[in-house]
């Protein structure tokens, strides 16, 4: 049963759908999807077109907005909005360390998780679209991984789309995960250099923390093992507009004096735990590299293997040489599953996914080259998470796609500058700009 309620200026309705776990077996097992419908209070009785929002990730539920935050207010000026918790996330049927053992052992769990990529998400959207729109095509707004899903949507079910809007999420159509990370590490290094230029005092602060972690075992309140590699992964925040400032504030008071000498403070550990734990979004770690899997070549822990090609990211060497410690970014490693208690029971499952060699193609270059759906994409210059060159190559491969390349925003532009970003994309898609 749908339940409606109000926030300032918005009427919200909880909606639930049932879809096949495996769309190739429509009579088989089903899972539940949750979505939150949003409509402006003064338009609640109108027949409006629909906008489907696909969250970034993978593994995150849709934004829980309060009122008309970020881009939502602009969207509500002309759309009903469906904020979908993609399969396995949010209030949809969960997939985590507590529920996955219901599938069986690691091999069965890996087979299950192989159904949680963009191709299945798109088929979920097409399964629920007739129930939501009555069969009419809808506009999709895809942020980051949501843009990967939108590109897959254009490849497989363009008839379901009135317009596609993509922010920070144009994927390479054919790059292997190795190629993705080989392009990523130099970008990450540039972001770290820019951070140290802004906050030069953080060079010594980060080095002191790294020295501490190289000589001691540190455990966070939830049991997370804070190794130096895990500490480096805090660089993921540098991909957001305010990320450099957040990292600086985290580093500036990391230590406290104790009878045993200087130790990392409880406050520091608590904040780091919140940034590093995958307890709330385990799918991100489990299927992150699988999002790039196409064909028979395994992803095989690409981020870890490629990192070895960039020796400057070796923390022990940087400390020994007196060089600045390099943080890392959006990557998942085998040690992630050893450090995080929310992931430890799933390590063998992750290994099987990394070794998998039967990935389906996610994109159809021929169909994209013949695209007739209006498409606009925001490409953030030197985006830390999605390679700009890869995005622009894909933009050229999709017929009719219009790009807005900007250095005004980082990867989170749709949050930080939501109304302006969405307004610009709509204008581009409508040939008004």
Catalytically active residues, by annotation = 144, 358, 411
β-bridge partners, 378: 167, 404
Q: Decide the pairing of beta strands 30-40 and 10-20.
A: antiparallel
CA 425, distance to chain mean position in Å, is: 20
Token digits for 408?
Answer: 């005004």
Show the CA angle centred on residue 155, arms to residues 154 and 161, nearest 5°.
Answer: 25
Q: Tell me if 148 sits within 8 A of 156, measured CB to CB.
A: no
Give, for 99, the enclosing helix (H) or strand (E): none
Show the CA angle centred on residue 310, arms to residues 308 and 316, nearest 5°.
Answer: 75
Task: Please state the φ and ψ torsions of residue 127, each to the nearest 5 degrees.
Answer: -70, -35
For helices 201-215 and 177-198, give the axis angle rounded to 10 degrees. 120
Q: CA 154, CA 277: separation in Å to the nearest integer?
A: 34
Centre a 10 Å sphere on the Cβ of residue 411 and count the other Cβ atoms it contains: 25
Of the CA atoms within 13 Å of residue 327, those in its CB half-sphere come to 29
β-bridge partners, 375: 164
Q: CA 423, CA 125: separation in Å to the nearest integer?
A: 24
Q: Tell me if 115 sits within 8 A of 19, measured CB to CB.
A: no
Token digits for 254?
Answer: 């990391």
CA distances from 215 to 126, 209, 287, 325 (A): 53, 10, 32, 16
DSSP class of 94: B
Q: CA 293, CA 118: separation in Å to the nearest integer?
A: 11
Give, for 48, the enclosing helix (H) or strand (E): none
């Amino acid at each position: 049963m749908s339940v409606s309620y109000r926030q300032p200026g918005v009427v919200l309705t909880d909606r639930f759908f049932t879809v096949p776990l495996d769309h190739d077996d429509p009579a088989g097992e089903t899972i539940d999807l949750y979505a939150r419908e949003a409509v402006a209070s003064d338009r609640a009785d109108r027949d409006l077109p629909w906008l489907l929002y696909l969250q970034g990730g993978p593994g995150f539920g849709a934004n829980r907005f309060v009122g008309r935050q970020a881009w939502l207010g602009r969207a509500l000026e002309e759309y009903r909005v469906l904020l979908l918790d993609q399969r396995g996330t949010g209030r949809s049927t969960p997939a985590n360390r507590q529920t996955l053992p219901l599938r069986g052992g690691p091999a069965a769990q890996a087979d299950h998780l192989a159904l949680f990529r963009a191709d299945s998400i798109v088929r979920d959207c097409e399964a629920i679209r007739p129930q939501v729109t009555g069969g009419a095509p809808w506009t999709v707004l895809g942020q980051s991984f949501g843009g990967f899903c939108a590109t897959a949507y254009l490849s497989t079910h363009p008839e379901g789309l009135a317009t596609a809007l993509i922010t920070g999420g144009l994927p390479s159509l054919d790059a292997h995960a190795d190629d993705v990370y080989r392009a990523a590490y130099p970008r990450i290094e540039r972001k770290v250099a820019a951070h140290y230029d802004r906050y030069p005092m953080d060079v010594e602060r980060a080095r002191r923390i790294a020295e501490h972690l190289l000589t001691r075992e540190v455990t966070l309140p939830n049991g997370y093992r804070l190794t130096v590699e895990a500490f480096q992964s805090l660089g993921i925040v540098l991909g957001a507009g305010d990320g450099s400032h957040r990292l600086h504030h985290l580093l500036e008071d990391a230590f406290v004096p104790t009878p045993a000498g200087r130790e990392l403070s409880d406050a520091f550990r608590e904040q780091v735990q919140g940034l590093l734990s995958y307890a709330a979004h385990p799918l991100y770690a489990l299927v992150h590299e699988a999002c790039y899997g196409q064909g028979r070549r395994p992803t095989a822990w690409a981020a870890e293997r490629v990192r070895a090609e960039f020796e400057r990211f070796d923390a022990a060497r940087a400390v020994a040489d007196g060089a600045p410690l390099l943080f890392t970014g959006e990557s998942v490693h085998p040690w992630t599953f050893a450090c995080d208690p929310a992931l430890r029971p799933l390590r063998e499952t992750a290994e099987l996914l990394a070794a998998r060699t039967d990935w389906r193609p996610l994109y159809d270059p021929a169909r994209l080259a013949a695209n007739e759906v209006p498409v606009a994409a925001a490409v953030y210059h030197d985006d830390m998470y999605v390679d700009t060159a890869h995005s622009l190559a894909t933009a050229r491969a999709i017929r009719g796609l219009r790009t807005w390349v900007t250095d005004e925003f980082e990867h989170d532009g749709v949050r930080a500058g939501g109304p302006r970003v969405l307004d610009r994309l709509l204008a581009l898609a409508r040939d008004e700009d």
